[in-house]
Amino acid sequence: MAGATTQLGPHASFPNEASAGARLAVRDVSKTYDTDGASVEALKGCSIEVEAGAFVAIVGPSGCGKSTLLNMIAGFDTVSGGEIYMDGRLVAAPGLPPRAGPDRVVVFQNGALFPWKTVLENVSYGPVRQRTLTRKQAENKAVELLRACKLDAVAGAYPAQLSSGMQRRVEIARALMNEPRVLLLDEPFRAMDSVSKTTMHRHLLDMYRISRKTILFITHDLEEAIYLADSVIVMTTRPAMIKLVISVKLQRPRHPRILFSREYLELKREAAESVHEEARKAFERGEREQA
Amino acid sequence: MRKTTAPSSKLSSRQPPRLAALTFPAFRLHTWRVNWRGAVSVGGFLLLWELLVRFGGGGFEGIPTLAQVLSTFWNKYLTSDRYWQSWLVSFERVGYGFSLAQLLGIPLGLLLGTRRVFHEVVYPLVELLRPIPPLAWVPLSILFWPTAELSIIFITFIGPFFIIVINVHDAVRSLRKEHLWLARSLGATRGYAFRRIILPALIPSIAVGMTLGIAVSWNVVIAAEMIASDVGLGRLTWEGYVSHTATTVIVGMISIGLAGYLSALVVSYAERRLMPWHKVT
């Protein structure tokens, strides 16, 4: 992928190559919830191999179990079956207690900035808690990072004082501050208007270009997925299974003008057709009825 | 390489961060401003009272006028040591009761919200005791506590206690798990996450409990001070009632209203200090 192999020198405020993206392997992972005796299958036999530094989008209908998958990778939830590896290291398997870590940080749909902390305190939180930096060092690094993200003007503000787009940018900065090897984004731009969304896309692509993280991006918006990602994984309704993997061979760095290019439109048309084809097949097989 | 030179050259000329200069412009000190509309409404209410009693007739006939109350206050209470001592004593009782309610109610609410078994055992009891009016506790309180003062504090405690318990309990149950998850994934230990994530997240609900609770503490002050006490604003009002002195009752009512208002100001000041992220305008 163009994005994964673009050579960029170490950036002053971004981690160097050593801490860039990790390889992520999800092997035959399933998730079953037991609530009041009834077991609900949320995810079934899901296998994804993500190259180091790749940008992968997962698309699926709302409530299909995409977030469940993300929470299992993040170490917030247990897996019922299968294994998850990061750079060959086992991070999740049945019976293993879920363990979250700063190497895979999530940016949530509704945002999870600590409202009682300022932007600067939120961003410097990780390294201070992990004791990898002193508070002073962490704050200096956070200021640098905020400056690189053009957020330095709001460093002293509380999250509630910022627009939702700005909050999400701070959250991405907070995640990057920990030099994660995988960045997990759970529909981060869901509630935004299309103009802010476009701005956020550019920001995220910039961050991706500079930081070279592995990114797993969950969305229900196929166009967004194609515009941002190297490959797009389409999932079915509950129990979520992988229906289709679309490889996006658009050049990086990506610019909004791509959205009007013939390549993009062609890709979008093909993707939409196959997604609709899958949806139609699913409909005919009555799969939605199980949901 | 061309792409990276621009941002890194910008960062290489960086200066030490000036945090003071980074403060968000909207974050300014709260400036005190006279609420003229509020003053007019209070004045209007007093005027209406005077006019209704003078010209309203009917049920208003037996009620003293504002002028009568003011003159009673002027002649009987303004220079009375006992009256001003009542203020102090009542403030002290309400202060003790209210503070105890916070000290015991917040941990109880936390336990109820976080421990399942504890919740199953204790919550029904809380729900049973909660609707009992503080006034109903008075006889048992007198029997149980060795001194009248302790009984009084118990009554001013029991009023706000259940309010704070329920508020904290509900707040724990509606905590956003994402905050805890994130804190854990960013390196916080379990204990740290509890102290520094759950507690700040609960402060807004604790504040609501405090705002409601302080008012209830004053609500029950008459019930509390009926218990063998010679001073106190509640006692003053009670004495006015048993001696059929309506002007004294009204002096007591207004005094309790003012005392409650002052306490609410203190509580809301404390809340602003506790939650600088709330309403920063």
CA dist A107 and A111 (Å) reads 7
Q: Is A134 on the interface with B (CB under 8 A)?
A: no
Q: Closest chain A residue to B181 measured between Cα atoms?
A: A76
Q: Closest chain B residue to A143 measured between Cα atoms?
A: B17
Chain B closest CA to A239's CA: distance in Å?
A: 23
Tell me the chain A residues in contact with residue B203 when contact means C-beta distances shorter than 8 Å: 116
Torsions phi, psi for A53 (to 5 deg): 80, 10
Q: Which of A117, A129, A159 sits opposite B187 (nearest CB)?
A: A129
Interface of A with B in 33-92 (CB under 8 A): 71, 74-76
- Single-letter code of the amino acid located at A203: H
For chain B, what percent of residues have pLDDT higher than 90?
40
Say which CATH topology domain B75-274 has: MetI-like fold (1.10.3720)
Q: Which residues pair with A89 in a beta bridge?
A: A86
Chain A closest CA to B180's CA: distance in Å?
A: 9
Q: Closest chain A residue to B197 measured between Cα atoms?
A: A114
Q: Closest chain A residue to B19 measured between Cα atoms?
A: A156
CA-wise closest residue to B237 among B229, B246, B85: B246
**Cβ atoms within 10 A of the Cβ of B237, count?**
23
Lookup: tokens for A203 = 């920001």
Q: What would the pLDDT profile of A160-201 be if each residue is shown by its tens digit?
A: 888 888 888 898 888 888 888 888 999 888 878 888 888 888
Q: Closest chain A residue to B274 measured between Cα atoms?
A: A116
Lookup: tokens for A240 = 């979520």
CB B98 within 8 A of CB B155: no
**Cβ atoms within 10 A of the Cβ of B176, count?**
15
Lookup: tokens for A180 = 């994660």
Tell me the chain A residues in contact with residue B4 when contact means C-beta distances shorter than 8 Å: 8-9, 11, 210
CB B167 within 8 A of CB B206: yes
Q: What pTM, to 2 d.p., does this model score? A: 0.72
Q: What would the pLDDT profile of A253-267 be if each residue is shown by its tens digit?
A: 888 888 888 888 888
In order along its 291 residues, chain A shows pLDDT tens digits of: 333 333 333 343 444 444 578 888 888 888 888 777 778 888 888 888 888 888 899 887 766 778 888 888 888 888 888 889 888 888 888 888 888 888 888 888 878 888 888 899 889 888 888 888 888 888 888 888 888 888 888 888 898 888 888 888 898 888 888 888 888 999 888 878 888 888 888 888 888 888 888 899 998 888 888 888 888 888 877 677 777 788 888 787 888 888 888 888 888 888 888 777 767 776 776 655 443
Residue B37 in this model has a pLDDT that exceeds 70: yes
With tokens 């053009």, the residue in question is A150
Contact B181 A74 (CB under 8 A): yes
Q: Which of A75, A110, A157 sits opposite B24 (nearest CB)?
A: A157
Question: How confident is the model at residue A286, as a pLDDT?
Answer: 62
CA dist A136 and B169 (Å) reads 37
CA dist B242 and A214 (Å) reads 79
Contact B280 A143 (CB under 8 A): no
Cα angle A105, A106, A108 (rounded to 5 degrees) comes to: 160
CB-based contacts of B45, cutoff 8 Å, min separation 6: none
CB A66 within 8 A of CB A238: no
Chain B closest CA to A23's CA: distance in Å?
A: 19
Question: How confident is the model at residue A50, as a pLDDT?
Answer: 87
**Which superfamily does A8-103+220-291 belong to?**
P-loop containing nucleotide triphosphate hydrolases (3.40.50.300)
CB A238 within 8 A of CB A41: yes
Q: Give the distance, in angstroms, between the CA of residue B178 and the centroid of all CA atoms in the same chain.
A: 30
**Cβ atoms within 10 A of the Cβ of B148, count?**
16
Question: How confident is the model at residue A19, as a pLDDT?
Answer: 54
CB A167 within 8 A of CB A103: no
CA dist A129 and B121 (Å) reads 36
Lookup: tokens for A16 = 């160097």
CB B231 within 8 A of CB B86: yes
Q: Is A104 on the interface with B (CB under 8 A)?
A: yes
Tell me the chain A residues in contact with residue B1 when contact means C-beta distances shorter than 8 Å: 7-9
Domain segments of chain B: what residues? 35-62, 75-274
Q: Is A182 on the interface with B (CB under 8 A)?
A: no
Q: Rounded to the nearest 10 degrees, what angle do helices B116-129 and B148-173 cross at?
A: 130
CA dist B4 and A16 (Å) reads 13
Q: Which of B11, B26, B188 sits opposite A161 (nearest CB)?
A: B26
Contact A100 B181 (CB under 8 A): yes
Q: Which of A156, A209, A210 sits opposite B27 (nearest CB)?
A: A156
CB-based contacts of B206, cutoff 8 Å, min separation 6: B102, B106, B164, B167, B168, B171
| SS3 per-residue string spanning chain A | CHHHHCCCCCCCCCCCHHHCCCCEEEEEEEEEEEECCEEEEEEEEEEEEECCCCEEEEECCCCCCHHHHHHHHHCCCCCCEEEEEECCEEEECCCCCCCCCCCEEEECCCCCCCCCCCHHHHHHHHHHHCCCCCHHHHHHHHHHHHHHCCCHHHCCCCHHHCCHHHHHHHHHHHHHHCCCCEEEEECCCCCCCHHHHHHHHHHHHHHHHHHCCEEEEEECCHHHHHHHCCEEEEECCCCECEEEEEECCCCCCCCHHHHHCHHHHHHHHHHHHHHHHHHHHHHHCCHHHHC
CB A233 within 8 A of CB A242: yes
Lookup: tokens for B130 = 């909660």
Q: What would the pLDDT profile of B157-191 be if each residue is shown by its tens digit?
A: 999 999 999 999 998 888 888 888 888 888 888 78
- Single-letter code of the amino acid located at B35: N
**Cβ atoms within 10 A of the Cβ of B89, count?**
21
Lookup: tokens for B27 = 């974050």
Torsions phi, psi for A38 (to 5 deg): -90, 130
CA-wise closest residue to A182 among A210, A230, A214, A205: A214
- Helix/strand/coil for B261: helix
Domain segments of chain A: what residues? 8-103+220-291
CA dist A89 and A81 (Å) reads 17
Question: How confident is the model at residue B112, as a pLDDT?
Answer: 92
* C-alpha torsion sign, points A16, A19, A143, A197: positive
Q: What would the pLDDT profile of B5-36 be if each residue is shown by its tens digit?
A: 333 333 333 444 444 444 444 444 445 677 88
Question: How confident is the model at residue A256, as a pLDDT?
Answer: 81
Q: What is the ipTM of this complex?
A: 0.77
Lookup: tokens for B1 = 């390489």
Tell me the chain A residues in contact with residue B201 when contact means C-beta distances shorter than 8 Å: 115-116
Chain B closest CA to A277's CA: distance in Å?
A: 36
Contact B4 A75 (CB under 8 A): no
Burial-class residue A279 by CB neighbours within 10 Å (0-12, 13-18, 19+). middle
Q: Which of B17, B176, B203 sits opposite A112 (nearest CB)?
A: B176
Q: Closest chain B residue to A186 measured between Cα atoms?
A: B178
With tokens 């206690």, the residue in question is B161
